[in-house]
Structure 1
């Protein structure tokens, strides 16, 4: 069976896997944020893009803080506190679903969500070796999508009928995942962290000096926002396209599309992990960019047929899989042991720049030039990234 790919991993990795499933089962707020702001709070595309950008900026600030404290504190405690605060704020949002203050409370919610990202990545790297990291990152990505494969269908129902539970459900599942971590994931002492290669040896100095000593990572940093910009269209421009084409059925069909995305991940992630585990991460990521170019670029045609949108989703989901299961391994294997939190925050920030600028720029493009220009732009950027990642692999091989 394909799931034999994940045999032999540390017990704590399996617990983190279960925690990811539970957490993402209720990851409602992020998924339906664009539609919530436009439909229930009456914002136009440009206003929605601005709010999402502000949310992204504070998420970056949270990520930077989380990365810093991750390298100096107890990773488990940091994760529990940051996710606990995030869950508490989500619960508060459920009591103010129509308030004009809601977007600003969501900014705080995303700040603490951002703080949890670096510690999640650092913990997983601590628990694994270069030989099994690919499997571990793939498994946790699979856990995310097991939750997401069910979550959007439930969220689509709640969105139309019980929108307070968009926030309360998010809060409840986050608290349940915290309980799993408290009970079953041990704290990892710094002196027990193993260094497996020259690239993982501790570095002195500021994070910028550590990055500059690794030019491959510096170039990769510049490419990440462009990749994230394209991918951000699935949560901003795509639901708006469906809303325009399908009217009131847009939210429901968007939930179906996101479930198809998750199911595709469930089916193909183990297969791709097994088949491509010997292919270099940057080569796999270059193919991911090509899938983005095709999957999002084809939406330029905007054919009024549900099968067309489902086909597009499968193609860009292939790109998502290839990017996610390889990027974490690539970064982890190039990261100094004493910079795991900060390097994780560095690259998460680069991704967030793309995700947050995506809605802002896309909102402006939509208001000025219309939806088709979004998909042409995505195709051109994706094609350019395909060649860029190929070059980066050649550059990395010479080092």
Structure 2
């Protein structure tokens, strides 16, 4: 019985092209190698002795660099091609990691973090566009899911390895490993994957409409709002929730880590089978995102029950399943919505919505908690999820009108 279930699980990973597997591999190497980021605030505070306010401003520079990089990566992918952008981004990021360890002044680090994130996040929209070129239309969402699994596995491995390196050799070694992993990942990509000039094949689930500009695509802007909101409430997992675990229930860092591990295990075990099921059934992407947003919002309503620690587990399960429903299909919808030749611009704005959500989530969530308490924050975040779900219904209606007018 277990063997049959395992074989069925493995079947979900069949049908990918060689290039997609290589993209997943370099994404894993790159994300596992990005070990500095989980320890960045600790490094700035404890090793360089910056104040909390200074650390906050350096992280703001980090976020705005991410937004600029996302936009440039998408723009350049349309102009010169995704392949060149990916190679340039990872190679220069690796070199700059070597340099970053020698920058220790406040303004130098603001500029340095802004620059390195501009270079690093040029990779993301280019990588999404490359998936559109190398993946077959019928398994594009699964291809995006495979890369998401590589990201999650990389993020799971990276902090553990980073902690060991810090204990053994110190923070300086971390910069060398980070830089080397970026250079190694892109060398593997350049050697094993040939540049593809062929136009991206679009699927038929959400046919792209030729528009004068991405800024005039009303449906896409509503979709970006949904992406921003779902990302913003999801990022509470890494900002407000760990504090709540400790303040409300007295959980240790280890217990909070176990809850985070539950999220990773659920993604690893369930995301590919669920995405494969919906692809076989040819379910509309926006319908699936609707349920994802609703579940993510509902998970915060569960947190309003603040007298039983078991509710933390139920809330984590619900937000994890909501993530599985929302994020892979929002990736796929953004790419399928883009008119031919404009994929980079669309994916740039999509990735920028996540960068902005990262900035807003921590600032807004912690600000609300400081002024009004955790309960008000959970109520607001849950309500944002419900608003995002209703926006999905709005898009559904607009898509029907659009298809009738086409």
**Alpha-carbon contact 1:142-1:265 (below 8 Å) kept:** yes
1:293 pairs with 2:335: no
Give the Å deviation of 1:321.
1.7
Name the residue aligned to 1:188: 196
For residue 227 of structure 2, the aligned residue among 218, 224, 228 is: 224
Q: 1:369 to 1:204 in 2, by over 3 A?
A: closer
Task: Give, in whole Å, the separation in 1 of the partners of 2:162 and 2:306.
Answer: 25
> What are the residue-to-residue correspondences of 1:26-105 with 2, within 5 Å?
26-33=33-40, 41=49, 43-44=51-52, 49-95=56-102, 100=106, 101-105=108-112
Name the residue aligned to 1:382: 385
Query: RCO higher in 1 or 2 (8 Å CA, sep ≥ 6)?
Result: 1
User: Over aligned residues, Cα RMSD in angstroms?
Assistant: 3.1
Q: 1:48 to 1:225 in 2, by over 3 A?
A: farther
Give the Å deviation of 1:327.
0.8
Give the Å deviation of 1:343.
0.9
Give the Å deviation of 1:112.
1.2
For residue 142 of structure 2, the aligned residue among 128, 135, 138 is: 135
> What are the residue-to-residue correspondences of 1:1-399 with 2, within 5 Å?
1-33=8-40, 41=49, 43-44=51-52, 49-95=56-102, 100=106, 101-156=108-163, 162-190=170-198, 193-194=200-201, 199-200=207-208, 203=210, 205-208=212-215, 212=216, 214-242=217-245, 244=247, 249-250=252-253, 252-277=254-279, 278=281, 279-301=283-305, 305=309, 308-399=311-402
**Alpha-carbon contact 1:292-1:315 (below 8 Å) kept:** yes
Task: Give, in whole Å, the separation in 1 of the partners of 2:201 and 2:389.
Answer: 34
**Alpha-carbon contact 1:149-1:263 (below 8 Å) kept:** no
**Alpha-carbon contact 1:228-1:355 (below 8 Å) kept:** yes
Output one character per residue of 1:197-233: Cα deviation in whole Å (capped at 9) or x when no partner: 69458x575443xxx2x43213212322222221221
**Alpha-carbon contact 2:302-2:311 (below 8 Å) kept:** no
Task: Give, in whole Å, the separation in 1 of the partners of 2:22 and 2:394.
Answer: 38
Task: Give, in whole Å, the separation in 2 of the partners of 1:284 and 1:358.
Answer: 23
Give the Å deviation of 1:264.
1.6
Task: Give, in whole Å, the separation in 2 of the partners of 1:186 and 1:144.
Answer: 22
- Structure 1 residue ranges without an equivalent (≥5): none
Task: Give, in whole Å, the separation in 2 of the partners of 1:248 and 1:43.
Answer: 27
Name the residue aligned to 2:3: none
Give the Å deviation of 1:394.
3.5
Task: Give, in whole Å, the separation in 2 of the partners of 1:340 and 1:389.
Answer: 22
Q: 1:290 to 1:200 in 2, by over 3 A?
A: closer
Q: 1:43 to 1:275 in 2, by over 3 A?
A: farther
Task: Give, in whole Å, the separation in 1 of the partners of 2:97 and 2:247.
Answer: 29
User: Number of matched residues?
Assistant: 389
Q: Which stretches of structure 1, 4 residues or longer, exceed 6 Å deviation after superposition?
A: 245-248
